[in-house]
Amino acid sequence: MNNKRYYWLKLKNDFFQQREIKKLRKIAGGDTYTIIYLKLQLLSLKNNCKLLFESIEDTFSEEMALEIDEDVENVKMTLLFLQKYGLIEEISHSEFILPKTLENIGTESQGAARVRKHRETKKLLQSNVPVTIGNSEIEKELELELEKELDLELEPQNHAAKDDAMNDCSCKYSLDFLEFWQQYPRKKEKLKGWRAWKTRLREKCSPEKMIAAARNYAVECKGLDERYIKLGATFIGPDKPFEEYVGGGPHGEHRQEARDPSLKDYTEGGKYANFFK
């Protein structure tokens, strides 16, 4: 699947009126240096306006000259000028950023580009007089083709987006499940928990018992690092570990085994229990 992205540099209409650019162009060879600056900006787009020194050449200026097919001395002079006037800054030995370029870049996915192109085509068709049946048919074909392409390209992202939407929209969950989730001690992967909940209901498991088990398990897990607490989907999963907690749950030895021994001094009752409070 092609998830290609397009990048562009937006050149402001006053670019050549900026004092730094005027000064650069007045230097002998300044027009060449200006072109080099623009080429460096284009080179930086895919790295969020950063130029990367990968030590392919001995120096940064030599490597940039290789990348943009320019004379090394001209690139070196351009970089010295840019550094002097704050148009390039060194982040580290291997990273340099073009701060003003950050204000002038744009990007879009291949799918977004097709949407934009489709809208432009649609607008063009609507501007023709009169709107003919042929134009309507072409428009419908364009829309169908666009929808198919976007569906193919965005299918994986759509699955993830649907999961996120379910997580953020409580009206999709039953009141019983929301009560269970409120009681449960680990609030991660809510959608998976919801699916497991519906499966247990189909198996005639009692919502009240699962809620009670969550409440008891929360008591059992008090003071535990979250890493040692089951995910909700596991707790009410196919093996049904929640059933052990319906009547209160195991204590003592079970609780001790659940802890990471190296953390015992930092949990409730340990000698460092108040260290981070």
Q: What is the pLDDT of residues 14-42, one digit of tens each?
A: 888 889 999 999 999 999 999 999 999 88
User: Are 147 and 95 contained in the same domain?
Assistant: no
Q: Does 43 share its domain with 96? A: yes
Give how many domains the chain has, as a whole number.
Answer: 3
**Band (127; pLDDT cuts 50, 70, 90):** low
**Nearest-5° Cα angle at 169, 166 to 173:** 75
Boundary-marking domain end, from 106, 125, 142 = 106
Between CA 178 and CA 166 the distance in angstroms is 13
Contacts of 2 (CB under 8 A, 6+ apart): 110, 153
Please report whether residue 218 resides in a domain.
yes
CA–CA distance, 25 with 13 (Å, rounded to integer): 17
Q: Which of 89-93, 105-109, 132-136, 156-160 has the highest average model confidence (pLDDT)?
A: 89-93
208 and 248, same domain (yes or no)? yes
Same domain flag for 259 and 187: yes
271 domain-assigned: no
Distance in angstroms (rounded) separating the CA atoms of residues 212 and 245: 8
Flag whether 79 is in a domain: yes
17 and 82 in a single domain? The answer is yes
Q: Which of 66, 82, 106 marks a domain boundary?
A: 106
Residue 277 falls inside a structural domain: no
Question: Same domain, yes or no, for 187 and 97?
Answer: no
Check residue 196 and report its DSSP letter: H
* Bond before 261 cis per omega within 30 degrees: no
Residue 148 located in a structural domain: yes
Shared-domain flag, residues 50 and 36: yes
Q: 49 falls in which pLDDT band (50, 70, 90)?
A: confident
Share above pLDDT 70 across residues of the chain, in percent, rounded to a whole number: 63
The range of the structural domain enclosing residue 162 comes to 109-168
Q: Are residues 153 and 73 in the same domain?
A: no
Q: Are 105 and 9 in contact (CB under 8 A)?
A: yes
- What digits encode the pLDDT tens for the residues 187-214? 989 999 999 999 999 999 999 999 999 9
Which pTM does this prediction carry? Answer: 0.40
Are 137 and 65 found together in one domain?
no
Using one digit for the tens of pLDDT, what is the confidence trace for 236-273? Answer: 999 999 999 998 766 544 444 444 444 444 445 554 44
Residue 27 shares a structural domain with residue 99: yes
pLDDT of 132 above 90: no
Backbone region of residue 129 per phi and psi (left: phi > 0; alpha: psi in -120 to 50; beta: other values): beta
Domain boundary among 144, 168, 192: 168
Same-domain pairing of 38 and 94: yes
